[in-house]
Structure 1
Amino acid sequence: MEWDALSLLEAGEDRPLIERRSVLRDGFYEVQAKTMIERVPPAAGIAQQWSVSPYRGCAHACLGCGARAGHRRLGLDAGRDFDTRIVVKANAAQRLRRELARWDGSPLAVGLSGDCYQQAEQTYRQMPGVIAALRDAAVPFTVYTKSPLVLRDASLLAAAGARVAISIAFVDERIRRAVEPGAPSAQARLELVAALTEAGVACRVLMAPVLPLLSDATDQLSATVRRIAASGAAGVEAIVLRLPPATRRWYLSWLQQAHPALAGRYEELYDKAGLPASGYEQRILGQIAQLCRPYGLSFGPPAPPAPAGPRAAQLALV
């Protein structure tokens, strides 16, 4: 592709930080990453403590995405900018190989700061190099995605022994259009689970985020688990919606417009850190676990492999 003649941004100090440190190419901000392996916030609710993300921001535009705060650190907003101004770590695979050379073997999550198979991946094809680096270092990893583009790399993932977690929080298409407007339908993702399983990729479903008062009714949870079981998934992990500050503002702004009667109840349910009330969370997770049993679906994250040495120090962002 040709470089945009105006792609070298000569921004003044009043411009967003990312525009002073990037090259703009076909609408994406290209940067040279200083680090690839980053700590996962404990509040994220997933099993891995460390993550790798070739992209920041996500065109799926999920209102409840907990990664939105990362855009604030780049001088962008955590709302519309997160959905439309995608940051590409152009040196992702090369930088990752250098860090893995001194990594302790702890499991990694891939794709938390932005879906690693979103539209940007069609242009940049970062993931084959990332998968190869993780495979060569013999580091266990789980890819988190909603995108059918992951099927392109199914053989690479299977050969690397990777796990894939497909996010399917609910099967109500009306809710999906409202809170995940850029993401594939639940049906498309269920078909993706079946296709990955058939291709020999270990595939689980991340039933997340469960939305309080919107997708947490017993019949909604039951319908979602039933269809997940029919897809052939190996198991289910579930996370109730988290609302860290940057996400909270964006999500509650939408909620106030779409469901104003629920806004006050959310304020009561969530603490200042954005975590749901423990009693509510445990009740929902218990319901989902019980719904999984008749189908023989395992519930919760699979047992992690044992780590293998000293951990590297965390490096600088972006």
Structure 2
Amino acid sequence: MGWDALPLVEAADERPLIERRALMRDGFYEMQAKTVIERVPQTAGIAQRWAISPYRGCAHACRGCGARAGHLRLGLDAGRDFDTRIVVRPNTVARLRAELARFCGEPVAVGVGGDCYQPAEETYRLMPGVIDALAEAAVPVTVYTKGPLILRDAPLLAAAGAQVAISIAFVDERIRRGVEPGALNGRARLELVSALAEAGVDCRVLMAPVLPLLSDAADQLDATVRRIAAAGASGVEAIVLRLPPGTRQWYLAWLAEAHPHLLERYEELYDDAGLPSPTYEGRITGQIAQLSRMYGLRYGPAAPSRHEPRYPQLALV
């Protein structure tokens, strides 16, 4: 059963924008996307400039997720609503195919606004169509996820030459329970890396976000990189925690409760845009780069894989 939340006289309705314009079905908000290839925020820290997000919000409930502000534009909060009120864009594949016809062909990230293999994907199955459309257009793609459902699409990803970046910022289960309560534990994610590599998928690890004063000690970084190498990842890229608007308030509220003695140091480390001190960030990423070389891993963004369109365009003359 679904209900149409679009009122006849919207101006008199004080409900959040998403409740006025979306269709509620099976616990998810369905909203038709006007465009699906969107610019990646500069604060994200990833290599790609363009992203596709079939879902907004994320059931993994990671406190440091940089995509939280997107919910504010829908009239929802960037905290609990982001974790529990997932917005689905059911026309993602149709819109993507239309936009790819005039897209520049630059590398694309999938899953920036919300994990593309979170539980909602079990219901909507949007990712096979996304992968197929990008493969047909020969657009280099990196899928960012920490969801085990990606194994379902491993054959499609391998055939498409897609890259996968599994997020594993630390292997300390105590930290994971505090900041990633809805996500797989680190051991299970390392097993996911191994399974994808065995299936022929180019699988790397995104060590993100590295949490200042919580997961950045030398022994913690060493243990994480060592286990990533043992899992068979093709490389490592690291991003220190970003705290853009929305994320900042939610993360610091948790920090004030769980680790109040760290609040002052965080205020010193971060600028108004939510970016960490360049000196601190350079030191941490430098350590991870050195550890990667020591354990035989390639460090940094992977070169985008390029291939011919599955169905080449016919010449007019």
TM-score (structure 1 length as normaliser): 0.94
Work out whether 1:202 is the aligned partner of 2:238.
no
1:160 counterpart letter in structure 2: A
Tell me the residue number matched to 2:31. 31
The whole-number CA distance in structure 1 between the counterparts of 2:194 and 2:69 is 33
The whole-number CA distance in structure 1 between the counterparts of 2:181 and 2:103 is 37
Secondary structure of 1:239's counterpart equals: strand
Work out whether 1:285 is the aligned partner of 2:285.
yes
Tell me the residue number matched to 2:74. 74
- Deviation, structure 1 residue 8: 4.0
Aligned 8 A contact 2:210 2:240 in 1: yes
Tell me the residue number matched to 1:148. 148
Deviant stretches of 4+, over 3 Å: 6-12, 304-308
- Deviation, structure 1 residue 304: 3.6
Tell me the residue number matched to 2:224. 224
2:27 counterpart letter in structure 1: G
The whole-number CA distance in structure 1 between the counterparts of 2:72 and 2:138 is 34
Aligned 8 A contact 1:66 1:242 in 2: yes
1:89 counterpart letter in structure 2: R
Call closer, same or farther: CA 1:131–1:307 in 2, change over 3 Å.
Answer: closer
Matches within 5 A, 1:189-268: 189-268=189-268
Structure 2 residues without counterparts, runs of 5 or longer: 309-317
Tell me the residue number matched to 1:299. 299
- Deviation, structure 1 residue 37: 0.4
- Deviation, structure 1 residue 87: 0.3
The whole-number CA distance in structure 2 between the counterparts of 1:136 and 1:261 is 52
- Deviation, structure 1 residue 13: 2.7
- Deviation, structure 1 residue 61: 0.2
What does the per-residue CA deviation read over 1:38-77, in whole Å, with 9 as the maximum and x for residues that have no partner? 0001111100000001000000000000000000000000
Aligned 8 A contact 1:30 1:87 in 2: yes
Matches within 5 A, 1:155-174: 155-174=155-174
- Deviation, structure 1 residue 118: 0.1
1:141 counterpart letter in structure 2: V
1:249 counterpart letter in structure 2: Q
Work out whether 1:85 is the aligned partner of 2:85.
yes
1:41 counterpart letter in structure 2: P
- Deviation, structure 1 residue 296: 1.0
Aligned 8 A contact 2:110 2:144 in 1: yes
The whole-number CA distance in structure 2 between the counterparts of 1:247 and 1:44 is 12
Aligned 8 A contact 1:128 1:153 in 2: yes
Secondary structure of 2:144's counterpart equals: strand
Secondary structure of 1:271's counterpart equals: coil
The whole-number CA distance in structure 2 between the counterparts of 1:46 and 1:307 is 22
TM-score (structure 2 length as normaliser): 0.94
- Deviation, structure 1 residue 242: 0.3
Aligned 8 A contact 1:118 1:147 in 2: yes
Aligned 8 A contact 2:162 2:305 in 1: no
